[in-house]
Amino acid sequence: MKGYKFTTEEAAQSAITSINLAAGLPKSPEATTQTWTSYNLAEFNSPQFYYIRHDEFTESVLGSAEELNVIFEDLN
C-alpha cells in the first residue's frame, strides 16, 4: 500500500495534526468529523512503525508517499 511511515507515535500524531489543520478540521468541537485520517501501528512488522495511508489530500500536505509493506495478522 502507499503511505507515510513514521518511527515514533509522536511523529505520526504531528503529521495528523498538520493534515487536520490543512483540512480545517474539526469544524467545531461537536462536529461528527474530527480528523481527516488516522495513523496505525504496523505491529506485526519488525521493526514496528506507524503509518498513514495515502490519499490525494494527504499527499498535498505530506508530499510523495512511499510503498509500504505492512504485515497483517493472519485471521485463518
Domain boundaries, the chain: 2-25+36-67
For residue 1, give the 3-state DSSP assignment. coil
Q: What is the pLDDT of residues 10-68, one digit of tens each?
A: 999 999 999 999 999 999 999 999 999 999 999 999 999 999 999 999 999 999 999 99
The CA R_g of the chain, rounded to the nearest whole Å, is 13
Strand partners, 43: none
Predicted TM-score of the model (pTM): 0.92
Whole-number pLDDT of residue 51:
98
